[in-house]
């Protein structure tokens, strides 16, 4: 079974830059996996940030960017703000309509 | 404006059946996949499955195949997630989400979530 990996936690200082990654236990992430990223704050539904590797969803600030980094998908936050303190999930499209979420990264801004 | 409105919280006993709903509006319902996502208490997001309202084509995560049933009534723009015999481990928030057009590559809009509590 395919497992999608993410860092369990990360911290960044206000104004700093952080890169979260999304990988596979077996193989490399490519654009064919259409990586997407979601932000979730406690008690709220997820919010779509990035789709198809690097396209920002409507209304998402440009401090959020997506890319491929080595054999992983990556979400970079440039100039982190206090309200970026959230959980972040990646989603990879595998095949035949099936997708899998990563375990999520808890980002602390302090 | 795209909206997905889910049914309200449910409290059920183990073994009971349940069907929760997700009504779409503000777009052509039959043209976009609708997916279901589980979030157990204090845990991450899990992709359960997805349905295309246009022809009811349905795909399930191998982890959830046979555990839940996804269906749709396109006449009322509503998708459903149902259980025939709930377990305590089904306690979670369930989100529906709209997927991108012809291929379900990502989710672009989310429902508010439905809390399902299974307890004796």
Q: Is the dihedral of CA A13, B110, B58, B82 positive or negative?
A: positive
Please report the sign of the dihedral spanned by the C-alpha atoms of residue B30, residue B46, residue A71, residue A76: positive
| pLDDT classification of B91: cutoffs 50, 70, 90 | very high
Interface membership of B50 toward A (CB under 8 Å): yes
Are B104 and A97 a contacting pair at CB < 8 A? yes
Q: Inspect the interface and report whether the beta carbons of A104 and B50 lie closer than 8 Å.
A: no
Write phi, then psi, for B56 (nearest 5 degrees). Answer: 65, 20
Contact criterion met (CB < 8 Å) for A100 and B110 = no
The whole-angstrom separation of Cα B33 and Cα B99 is: 5
HEC profile for chain A?
CCCEEECCEEEECCCCEEEEEEEECCCCCCHHHCCEEEEECCCCCCEEEEECCCEECCCCCCCEEEEEECCEEEEEEECCCHHHCEEEEEEEEEECCEEEECCCEEEEEC
Taking CA–CA distances from A4, the nearest residue in chain B reads B46
CA-CA-CA-CA dihedral for B61, B63, B65, B66, to nearest 10:
-160
Q: Which of A34, A46, A98 sits opposite B95 (nearest CB)?
A: A46
Classify burial at A106, counting beta carbons within 10 Å of its beta carbon; exposed 0-12, middle 13-18, buried 19 or more.
middle
Q: Is the pLDDT of residue B101 over 80?
A: no
Minimal CA separation from B49 to chain A, in Å: 7
Q: Which of A46, A52, A98 sits opposite B45 (nearest CB)?
A: A46
The per-residue pLDDT for range A29-38, each reduced to its tens digit, is: 999 999 999 9
Task: Give the pLDDT confidence score for residue B3 in this predicted structure.
Answer: 98
Q: What is the pLDDT of residues A61-98, one digit of tens each?
A: 999 999 999 999 999 999 999 999 999 999 999 988 89
On whether any CB of chain A is under 8 Å from the CB of B45, the answer is yes
Q: Which of A45-59, B72-86, B93-107 has the lowest mean pLDDT?
A: B93-107
Is A96 in Cβ contact with B108 (below 8 Å)? no
pLDDT at B102 exceeding the cut of 90: no
Task: Find chain A residues with C-beta within 8 A of B104's C-beta.
Answer: 93, 97, 99
A34 vs B35, B105, B113: nearest CB: B105
pLDDT of residue A97: 87
A93/B105 Cβ within 8 A: yes
d(CA B10, CA B60) in angstroms, rounded, equals 23
Out of A45, A99, A104, name the one closest to residue B44 (CB). Answer: A104
Which chain B residues have a beta carbon less than 8 Å from that of A106? Answer: none
């Amino acid at each position: 079974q395919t497992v999608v990996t993410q860092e369990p936690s990360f911290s960044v200082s206000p104004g700093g830059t952080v890169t979260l990654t999304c990988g596979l236990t077996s193989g490399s992430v490519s654009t064919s996996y259409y990586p997407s990223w979601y932000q979730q704050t406690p008690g709220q539904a997820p919010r779509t940030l990035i789709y198809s590797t690097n396209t920002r969803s409507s209304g998402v600030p440009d401090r959020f960017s997506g890319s491929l980094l080595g054999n992983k998908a990556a979400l970079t936050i440039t100039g982190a703000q206090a309200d970026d303190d959230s959980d972040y999930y990646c989603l990879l499209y595998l095949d035949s309509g099936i997708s899998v979420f990563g375990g999520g990264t808890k980002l602390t801004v302090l | 404006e795209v909206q997905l409105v889910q049914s309200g919280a449910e409290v059920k006993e183990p073994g009971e059946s349940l069907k929760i709903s997700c009504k779409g509006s503000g777009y052509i319902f039959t043209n976009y996949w609708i997916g279901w996502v589980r979030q157990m208490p204090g845990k991450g997001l899990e992709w359960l499955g997805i349905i295309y309202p246009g022809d009811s084509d349905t795909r399930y995560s191998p982890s959830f195949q046979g555990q839940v049933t996804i269906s749709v009534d396109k006449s009322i723009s509503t998708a459903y997630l149902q259980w025939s015999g709930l377990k305590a481990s089904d306690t979670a928030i369930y989100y529906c989400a709209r997927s991108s057009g012809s291929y379900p590559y990502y989710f672009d809009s989310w429902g508010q979530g439905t809390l399902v509590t299974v307890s004796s």
